[in-house]
Amino acid sequence: MDASSRPRSLTRSDASLATSAVRREPGATIPPGIHCAEDYEAAAASYLDAATYAHVAGGAAHDVTVEANRRAFATWALWPRVLRDVTAGHTRVQLGAQVLAHPILLGPVAFQRAFHPEAELATARAAAVGDSVMVLSTLSSVSLEAVAQVPGATRWFQLYVQPQREVTADLVARAVAAGYRAVVVTLDAPVQAASHRALRAGYAAPPASAAANLASYPSPAATAPRGCGILGDAMRHAPTWDDVRSLVRDSPLPVWTKGVAHPDDARRLADLGVAGLIVSNHGGRGLDGAPATLTMLSHVRRALPKPFPVLLDGGIRRGSDVFTALALGADAVLVGRLQAYALAVAGALGVAHMVRLLREELEVCMALTGCPDPSAIDADALLARDDATSPFTPRPRP
Ligand SMILES: Cc1cc2nc3c(=O)[nH]c(=O)nc-3n(C[C@H](O)[C@H](O)[C@H](O)COP(=O)(O)O)c2cc1C
């Protein structure tokens, strides 16, 4: 579960968090200086208070995995090709029965009111305009039913398995009734190490009551801890193989799993009948020290060859990152932090603009590597980068 969801250090109400988080008012236009999707990362520092920015940018513990996710892209170069006709090309991808206009999805990001007053409603509008899929977090600031009222957006529902399994089933039923097209069960963060960066900056998580989708359910009854601390207590509600099996069996929607890293887990999930997998380490917010998602992608793809749908998230900041992920076997990618940053800077307009920039950056890569459509992007379009002059030198933190 995302760190922001845990009901500890509850010192502020959701409303006060939303107000205090905004430093510069999000604009109705794109501010000058945004030339590429990644520019939203630095720009957001002027729109979010330091603690909220640190919460978004940071990962679990020491940020080892956050940094690994980015560095992994730097190990690959894109290999240019000339004189190829790509003029009949496109960016469409097929994920199971769904055809998407391009392979860039808006991943689940909790409590978006901390970034913009319109929260997930703005993101849904951006998904509609940008022909993207919005994956709504269980821990959204706006209820899944209210988000479903935004016309035109393709929506998937991200599910955190709840301590009371009947609540889990009810969340899925609500997502079905509201027209969501898939359920994405997140498996990689039943507990999280706190972000040292966020704690040092004074970040306090919003109260449990800020999770609009969970507001109508009674709190789980307190029970005495079993066994030792984290293992016996927090982990007793963690999702199990049986949970995934019942979800796949009972859900009328395709069930995806998010947070898969190991090929053995991937194979077993595929055998259970999941619709697809998202190779993810929760943007470095789960197990600090986990490998980069790009590294794990190759292992998972080898275990589950195409056409089994495999997506990737973690560290996507540029169109060239999307290209690299596709070349190493992903069918599509999700963006997490870029979405929060763009939302903070310019609301729905910012998120739609960020998606458009990423898509254009991807198309430039496709044009110059001679790949007319995503299915033509494969490992032959990459070269291992062996020089030390990486263009991915981390920017100084704002
Ligand atoms: C502020 C924040 C909140 C997040 N909330 C959720 C969540 O509610 N559910 C979930 O499955 N993942 C959540 N994630 C993880 C993202 O879905 C995604 O895996 C990760 O951000 C991808 O890495 P990137 O931020 O480098 O793109 C969150 C990430 C961030 C930064």
Please tell me the residue having the least CA distance from ligand 1 atom 3.
109
Owner of token pair 């236009």 = 29
Which ligand 1 atom is at minimum distance from the Cα of 337? Answer: 25
Please tell me the residue having the least CA distance from ligand 1 atom 12.
108
Residue-range domains of the chain with CATH: 3-215+227-384 (3.20.20.70)
Task: Reply yes or no on whether 282 is catalytic.
Answer: yes
* pLDDT score of 13 more than 80: no
Within 8 A by CB and 6+ apart from 273, the residues are 248, 255
| Annotated active-site residue in 55, 102, 116, 282 | 282
Please tell me the residue having the least CA distance from ligand 1 atom 17.
108
Helix, strand, or coil (residue 53):
helix
Residues within 6 Å of ligand 1 by CB: 2, 56, 69, 107-110, 137, 139, 158, 186, 258, 280, 282-283, 285, 313-316, 335-337, 340
What are 174-220's pLDDT values in tens digits?
999 999 999 999 999 999 889 999 999 999 999 989 999 999 999 87
pLDDT (mean) for 225-240: 82
Please tell me the residue having the least CA distance from ligand 1 atom 15.
282
Which of 70, 285, 287, 297 is the pocket-test mutation for ligand 1 (most atoms within 8 Å of CB)?
A: 285
The CA 286 to ligand 1 mean position distance, Å, reads: 10
Rounded Cα distance, 224 and 237, in Å: 13
Q: How far is CA 272 from CA 186, 245, 246, 255, 263, in A?
A: 16, 6, 10, 10, 14
What are 316-358's pLDDT values in tens digits?
999 999 999 999 999 999 999 999 999 999 999 999 999 999 9
Least confident of 83-97, 228-242, 355-369: 228-242
Computed on alpha carbons and rounded to an integer, the radius of gyration of the chain in Å comes to 20
SS (H, E, C) 114-134: HCCCCHHHHHHHHHHHCCCEE
- What predicted TM-score, i.e. pTM, was given to this entire model? 0.92
Which ligand 1 atom is at minimum distance from the Cα of 186? Answer: 11
What are 17-76's pLDDT values in tens digits?
333 344 677 777 999 999 999 999 999 999 999 999 999 999 999 999 999 999 999 999
Report the pLDDT value the prediction gives residue 302, as an integer from 0 to 100. Answer: 97
Report the pLDDT value the prediction gives residue 17, as an integer from 0 to 100. Answer: 32
